[in-house]
Amino acid sequence: MTSKEKIVVTGMGAVTPIGTGVENYWTNLINGECGIDMIRRFDAADLAVRIAAEVTDFKAEEFLPAKLIRETDAFTQFAFAAASEALSDGMPASGDRMGIVMGTAMSGIDTIAATQEILTNAVHKNVGPRFVPRILGNIAAAQIAIHYGITGPSYTLSTACASGGDAISEGAMLLRAEETEAVLVVGADSTLCPLVIYSLANARALSRDNDDPRGACRPFDRSAGGFVMGEGGGALILETESHAKARNARIYGELAGWANNNDAWHVTSPEKEGRYAALCMKKALDRAGITPDEVDYVNAHGTGSLKSDEAETAAMEKVFMSGGKNTGKGPAVSGTKAATGHMMGACGITDVISCIKAIESGILPPTLNLKDPISEMDFVREKREGVKIDTAMSNAFGFGGQNASIIVRRYKG
């Protein structure tokens, strides 16, 4: 392909706490549904944090063979299901002309924690032979590749909560390098276990509003008290425009820009002025060949952690409120983790799906629980309909100073 040829999105899949399947996810998101509730997967009575956004409508047997269910962790199952939906219109390429890039923050941590607890308390010390294959970061991509016969490049990235966004960037680079004709990009995590909750709670990163699960995550609100853990999976099919047209594929949108960088600041805290997050967004804009004025909508990282939200807001203000038509309030901004919780590696992809659906439908999802905004930016507090959206940005930021920005726009063939 030439460096100027468009990269397009031809498949999407989602497994989220507010619905399995892209349409279920999107319908519930725009209608203000919230997936945050009391933890039911295990007894959390003794934990300081007893709330999370669990995937509740997922039936693994609808997507995976019985043997694979027995041999895989939940993050692999979510990844597999999202990939299956994205591929539901058919494989865009075969063999080594099809690649896969997986993004996950913590891969099989749930299995690791559960296995160690069993081993510690067991009289007979025994660990099953499938323990290691269940927990490996690359195993989700491997299981998908085995099932679908994908023999092209296979990469797994782990850049904390930016993993999904970075997986999209890596997929685009594979296409630019002509390593593949199409790429399946997947992100997934399931980290809801006492081990992780104890650690993040002790770090004061999680909301402790156990008495009000729905109101616990408050992105961009002055009262924000921490994020809420979620889980899920997301998937996209990326391919060149010419390849998609040659096979008469349905094109959902264009991947116009992508970028990655690092704050080089702190392990858990973002650079407070948002300088490098802003630079990441600008690099994505430059790659897309557009100005900040042309961005109509931003699906923000928006975790509900005040320091993180303040840094992200500072970054968005630097990019979008420094001149042009957006002076004053900038583009419309949603923080959808108030509905889904923080899905870690999955959110970088499901948030891009939200951007594509916003462009397609002219509907913007609300930022739940936003009453006292920390900025004058144009935050979407209630669902907006009949909005002309041509270009949208999704941001994903993670521990270690990881920044990822993705830009999608309306496809014009």
Which of 62, 74, 51, 65 lies closest to 21 in space, CA to CA? 62
Look at residue 120 in the predicted model and tell me its pLDDT: 82
Which one of 161, 193, 217, 355 is the catalytic residue?
A: 161
Please report which confidence band the pLDDT of residue 134 belongs to, taking 50, 70 and 90 as the band edges. confident
Look at residue 128 in the predicted model and tell me its pLDDT: 78
Residue 124 is a catalytic residue: no
| CB contact burial 324-341 (16+ within 10 A = b; e otherwise) | eebeeebbbbbbbbbbbb
Look at residue 328 in the predicted model and tell me its pLDDT: 64
pLDDT digit string, tens, across residues 45-88: 999 999 999 999 999 999 999 999 999 999 999 999 999 999 99
Q: Report the amino acid identity of residue 260.
A: N
Helix (H) or strand (E) holding 398: strand 391-398
Look at residue 117 in the predicted model and tell me its pLDDT: 80
The residue with greater pLDDT, 298 or 95, is 298
Which one of 217, 280, 342, 355 is the catalytic residue?
A: 342
Look at residue 1 in the predicted model and tell me its pLDDT: 53
Domains 7-246 and 259-409 share a fold: yes
The residue with greater pLDDT, 90 or 382, is 382
Query: Is pLDDT above 80 for 277?
Result: yes
For 95: left if phi > 0, alpha if psi spans -120 to 50, otherwise beta; the answer is left
Query: Is pLDDT above 80 for 229?
Result: yes
Residue 147 is a catalytic residue: no
Which one of 193, 301, 347, 355 is the catalytic residue?
A: 301
Cα–Cα distance for residue pair 292/393, rounded to 1 Å: 10
Query: Is pLDDT above 60 for 413?
Result: yes
**CATH class given for the domain over 7-246:** alpha beta
Average pLDDT for 263-275: 91
Quick one: DSSP state of residue 137? T
Which of 8, 14, 45 lies closest to 27 in space, CA to CA? 14
Look at residue 187 in the predicted model and tell me its pLDDT: 98
Average pLDDT for 248-272: 94
Query: Is pLDDT above 80 for 322?
Result: no
Query: Is pLDDT above 70 for 323?
Result: no
Query: Is pLDDT above 80 for 244?
Result: yes
**Could you tell me the residue ranges of all domains in the chain?**
7-246, 259-409
Query: Is pLDDT above 80 for 125?
Result: no
**CATH class given for the domain over 259-409:** alpha beta
Average pLDDT for 204-223: 96
pLDDT > 70 fraction of the chain, expressed in percent and rounded: 97
Q: Is there a contact between 365 and 339 (Cβ–Cβ < 8 Å)?
A: yes
Q: Is there a contact between 407 and 392 (Cβ–Cβ < 8 Å)?
A: yes
Helices 139-148 & 74-86, crossing angle to 10 degrees? 40
Average pLDDT for 109-127: 77
pLDDT digit string, tens, across residues 140-176: 999 999 999 999 999 999 999 999 999 999 999 999 9
Q: Is there a contact between 350 and 79 (Cβ–Cβ < 8 Å)?
A: no
Please report which confidence band the pLDDT of residue 257 belongs to, taking 50, 70 and 90 as the band edges. very high
Residue 243 is a catalytic residue: no
Average pLDDT for 91-119: 88
Q: What is the mean pLDDT of the chain?
A: 94
The residue with greater pLDDT, 10 or 112, is 10
Cα–Cα distance for residue pair 83/11, rounded to 1 Å: 9
For 289: left if phi > 0, alpha if psi spans -120 to 50, otherwise beta; the answer is left
pLDDT > 90 fraction of the chain, expressed in percent and rounded: 84
Alpha-helical regions (H) of 217-336: 241-246, 275-288, 306-320
Cα–Cα distance for residue pair 205/193, rounded to 1 Å: 15
Query: Is pLDDT above 70 for 25?
Result: yes
Query: Is pLDDT above 70 for 2?
Result: no
Query: Is pLDDT above 70 for 12?
Result: yes
